[in-house]
């Protein structure tokens, strides 16, 4: 366990040290109404991880209280996800339905205590009676029913004598409570539906707020860890346990920030829509953020757990860049998988002066990977290369095969182009080439210098494969609906060619196809006769330029990123490694940002200059590695409109809360065009951050008054709408309001 403890582990240690608990028991309690996704992976890692770290145990419990949406296939998917991630639960899988009899007894006890009653109001009236944020609610007239009448009605509800919605059981708490969750919350509702485990025994089912806390108590759970959306439910959690007078030790609820990732939806409703309407090919479609989908795509358990660890455990919701998840799988596979040659868009090359056949002994791993293994790569006069590894009219900086430029075939010979053959449409169909017999890799005596080596496969022995190239399912950062789907999220290549050892020797199930990315043998559709590979992830983030005109590989300048010709990240030099260790150690940068800065001399120099002016290493690093790096892709430092001192000044204004991070991006864009100092831009445009509650509160009040429908939905439990009100406030202030102040004020006013 890391020496740096998150706030949840700090709570656990305090409870152990004080003697509050002798043993730590946690639980992972999903509702079995869909396949688990990457957000569940974070919860699994937290609950099982804390239990492991403190020699306790974690229960796997299905919160199966809604028979209309639950299914055994979801139960199996949840069990499989936990085990695949490397965790084991204590004893058998548990189910809330195991406790239905005991929960019902406790409900009867609350009725006898005068703390619960059967309500017969219709749903609309019940909502109206709840009141508003500023006005107390009104208790139902049915709350005056006698204990005997309530017990009789509750029993008849259980026995199925009433229709769905005709009655509910409510706790009798406080209709004027500031926390609207406490205004006589529902405890049981009627559901005439077959339960996948309980059968038709029950016609009523407990609500989450009643069943969850008591299930925790039954199991001896000490720390009931859940996401922030249940923060207001904590009062009900405590009320139920305290009112029933349950003997200690008892559980307590603690909340953490749920996982949000850009370009991704994790709403079960939206995922179910994608599956049911066949926008994707089932719950394990590799484009989905489900654990089954990530697993089929080729993600490893280690990469997902490393990702969860890297993002940490926070108390405030935020959105994580999906590039961080993609970095985690690259980082994991880089030291694990063999490198092989595959041609996705084959172009035939005939080597006219070569006769016969031979084999080259090629390593599976580069020198900096401490793994051994080689394979025989067949070679003959007819081979295939990647179509864009040849250019008849190459742009400046193109380093591969051209009519005037030789190239090395990876692990083989140097070839030169002699003739270009085209079809009637002018499409290149074949290259006639010549090889140098003295240029064999490893024993080259020619002294010929070439700028690159390219992958290739032998025409006679290569194997045809199907390659499924997956991209992000959504085309925008914050997707909302089906209109945001990326139409190019899947491309199927049916005539790709791969070297034979991959199919015949099967050295692994995951591979790096050189210069293409990481790929995985599809666990369902792959056969020896028809091999199918899924693209896990590219060798680098391809979305950094999505907002710019699409570039072909031949148009990229060689200085954009230090990458070897086979696509593997070039090992760091000693000086780069020293910088990387300094950045991640002393400066506390994350490894991805540190890697970007350490490998690029221009960026590291610019970073050092900015840091000399303002000692804010993390904030400056993030700005330099993203915004400044984008500018330097096409320019030299001397061509920039701004300098390092101005960047340092911009970061200081964010650190001092003079401007927000969002405004900082706007200021940077103006700096890159005009070269003006950030302070001048902020003053001229009136962009100073607003942090005074007296200024912000009237704006929030106006937004709340104009959006009463959303206020009601928020009161009804849709806590996601907190973000709506925050967003509207920021929008109304042109992004100038301090987000932290806005969050606090909105939360206070909506309570």
Helix (H) or strand (E) holding 253: strand 252-256
The pair of structure tokens assigned to 26 is: 């946690």
In this structure, what are the phi and psi dihedrals at residue 343, rounded to the nearest 5 degrees?
A: -115, 115
The pair of structure tokens assigned to 557 is: 């300048």
The pair of structure tokens assigned to 228 is: 């922030």
Using CA atoms, how far apart are residues 93 and 75, in angstroms rounded to an integer?
Answer: 10
Tell me how crowded residue 598 is: count the other CB atoms within 10 A of its CB: 25
| β-strand pairing of 532-537 with 463-470 | parallel
Using CA atoms, how far apart are residues 632 and 629, in angstroms rounded to an integer?
Answer: 5
The pair of structure tokens assigned to 377 is: 């790569």
Using CA atoms, how far apart are residues 684 and 669, in angstroms rounded to an integer?
Answer: 15
Query: Looking at residue 625, what DSSP letter applies?
Result: I
Using CA atoms, how far apart are residues 528 and 177, in angstroms rounded to an integer?
Answer: 66
Q: Which of 95, 97, 67 is nearest to 193 (CA)?
A: 67
Catalytic residue IDs: 31, 258, 268
Rg (CA), the chain: 31
Query: Looking at residue 626, what DSSP letter applies?
Result: I
Helix, strand, coil % in the chain, rounded to nearest 5: 40, 20, 40
Query: Looking at residue 18, what DSSP letter applies?
Result: T
Query: Collapsing DSSP states into helix, strand and coil, what is residue 427?
Result: coil
CB proximity list for 560: less than 8 A, separation 6 or greater: 633
Using CA atoms, how far apart are residues 698 and 710, in angstroms rounded to an integer?
Answer: 18
The pair of structure tokens assigned to 223 is: 């720390």
Using CA atoms, how far apart are residues 427 and 535, in angstroms rounded to an integer?
Answer: 28
What are the CA-CA distances from residue 598 to residues 51, 263, 565, 736 (Å)? Answer: 38, 28, 20, 34
Using CA atoms, how far apart are residues 628 and 644, in angstroms rounded to an integer?
Answer: 10
Q: What is the DSSP string of 486-531?
A: -TTSEEEEEEEEE-THHHHT---SEEEETTTEEEEE-TTT--SSS-
Q: Which of 259, 512, 515 is nearest to 407 (CA)?
A: 515
Query: Collapsing DSSP states into helix, strand and coil, what is residue 11?
Result: helix
The pair of structure tokens assigned to 10 is: 């700090």
| β-strand pairing of 453-454 with 490-498 | unpaired
Tell me how crowded residue 438 is: count the other CB atoms within 10 A of its CB: 13
Query: Looking at residue 301, what DSSP letter applies?
Result: H
CA 236, 240, 243, 246 dihedral sign is negative
Start-end of H helices in 283-422: 291-297, 301-311, 322-334
Start-end of H helices in 113-233: 123-129, 147-158, 208-219
Tell me how crowded residue 398 is: count the other CB atoms within 10 A of its CB: 21
Helix (H) or strand (E) holding 118: strand 116-119
Query: Looking at residue 663, what DSSP letter applies?
Result: H
> With left for phi above 0 and alpha for psi between -120 and 50, is residue 381 left, alpha or beta?
alpha
Which residue's structure tokens are 């660890």? 309
Helix (H) or strand (E) holding 92: none
What are the CA-CA distances from residue 748 to residues 127, 420, 701 (Å)? Answer: 21, 72, 11
């Amino acid at each position: 366990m890391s020496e740096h403890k998150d706030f949840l582990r700090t709570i656990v240690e305090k409870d152990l040290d004080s003697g509050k608990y002798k043993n730590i028991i946690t639980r992972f309690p999903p509702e079995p109404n869909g396949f688990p996704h990457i957000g569940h992976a974070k919860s699994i890692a937290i609950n099982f991880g804390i239990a492991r770290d403190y020699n306790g145990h974690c229960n796997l419990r299905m919160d199966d209280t809604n028979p209309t949406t639950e299914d055994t296939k979801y139960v199996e998917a949840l069990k499989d996800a936990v085990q695949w991630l490397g965790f084991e639960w204590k004893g058998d899988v548990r189910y809330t339905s195991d406790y239905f009899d005991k929960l019902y007894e406790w409900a009867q006890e609350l009725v006898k205590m005068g703390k619960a009653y059967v309500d017969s109001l219709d749903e609309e009236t019940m909502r109206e009676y709840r009141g508003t944020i500023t006005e107390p609610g009104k208790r139902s007239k049915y709350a005056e029913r006698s204990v005997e009448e309530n017990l009789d009605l509750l029993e008849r509800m259980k026995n199925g004598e009433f229709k769905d919605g005709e009655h509910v059981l409510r706790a009798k708490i406080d209709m004027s409570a500031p926390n609207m969750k406490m205004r006589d919350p529902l405890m049981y509702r009627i559901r005439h539906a077959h339960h996948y485990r309980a059968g038709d025994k029950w016609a009523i089912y407990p609500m989450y707020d009643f069943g969850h806390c008591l299930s925790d108590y039954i199991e001896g759970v000490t720390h009931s860890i859940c996401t922030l959306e249940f923060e207001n439910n904590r009062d009900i959690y405590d009320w139920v346990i305290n009112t029933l007078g349950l003997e200690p030790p008892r559980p307590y609820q603690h909340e953490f920030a749920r996982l949000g990732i850009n370009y991704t939806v994790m709403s079960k409703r939206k995922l179910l829509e994608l599956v049911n309407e066949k926008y994707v090919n089932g719950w394990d479609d590799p484009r989905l953020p489900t654990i089954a989908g990530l697993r089929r795509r080729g993600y490893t358990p280690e990469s997902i757990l490393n990702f969860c660890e890297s993002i940490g455990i926070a108390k405030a919701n935020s959105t994580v860049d999906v590039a961080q998840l993609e970095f985690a799988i690259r980082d994991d596979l880089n030291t694990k998988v063999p490198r092989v040659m595959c041609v996705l868009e084959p172009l035939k090359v005939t080597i006219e002066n070569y006769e016969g056949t031979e084999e080259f002994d090629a390593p599976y791993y580069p020198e900096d990977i401490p793994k051994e293994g080689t394979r025989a790569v067949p070679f003959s006069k007819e081979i295939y290369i990647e179509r864009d590894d040849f250019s008849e009219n190459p742009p400046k900086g193109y380093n591969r095969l051209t009519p005037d430029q030789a190239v090395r075939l990876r692990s083989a010979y140097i070839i030169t182009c002699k003739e270009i053959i085209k079809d009637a449409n002018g499409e290149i169909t074949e290259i006639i080439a010549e090889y140098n017999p003295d240029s064999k890799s490893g024993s080259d005596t020619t002294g010929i210098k070439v700028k690159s080596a390219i992958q290739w496969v032998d025409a006679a022995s290569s194997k045809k494969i199907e390659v499924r190239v997956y991209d992000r399912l959504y085309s925008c950062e914050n997707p909302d609906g089906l209109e945001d789907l990326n139409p190019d999220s899947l491309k199927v290549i049916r005539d790709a060619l791969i070297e034979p050892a991959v199919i015949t020797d099967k050295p692994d199930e995951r591979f790096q196809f050189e210069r293409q990315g990481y790929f995985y043998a599809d666990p369902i559709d792959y056969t020896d006769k028809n091999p199918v590979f899924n693209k896990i992830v590219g060798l680098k983030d391809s979305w950094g330029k999505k907002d710019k005109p699409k570039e072909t590989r031949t148009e990229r300048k060689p200085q954009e990123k230090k990458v070897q010709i086979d696509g593997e990240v070039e090992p760091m030099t000693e000086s780069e490694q020293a910088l990387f260790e300094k950045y991640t150690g002393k400066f506390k940068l994350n490894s991805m940002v540190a890697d970007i800065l350490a490998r690029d001399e221009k960026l590291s120099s610019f970073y050092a200059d900015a840091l000399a002016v303002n000692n804010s290493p993390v904030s400056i690093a993030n700005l330099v590695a993203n915004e400044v790096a984008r500018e330097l892709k096409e320019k030299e430092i001397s061509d920039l409109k701004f300098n390092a001192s101005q960047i340092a000044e911009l970061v200081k204004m964010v650190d001092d809360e003079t401007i927000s991070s969002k405004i900082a991006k706007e200021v940077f864009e103006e700096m890159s065009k005009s070269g003006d100092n950030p302070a001048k831009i902020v003053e001229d445009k009136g962009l100073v951050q607003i942090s005074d509650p007296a200024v912000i509160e009237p704006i929030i009040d106006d937004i709340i008054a104009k959006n009463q429908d959303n206020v009601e939905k928020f009161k009804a439990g849709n806590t996601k709408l907190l973000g709506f009100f925050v967003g509207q406030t920021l929008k109304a202030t042109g992004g100038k309001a301090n987000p932290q102040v806005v969050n606090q004020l909105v939360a206070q006013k909506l309570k």
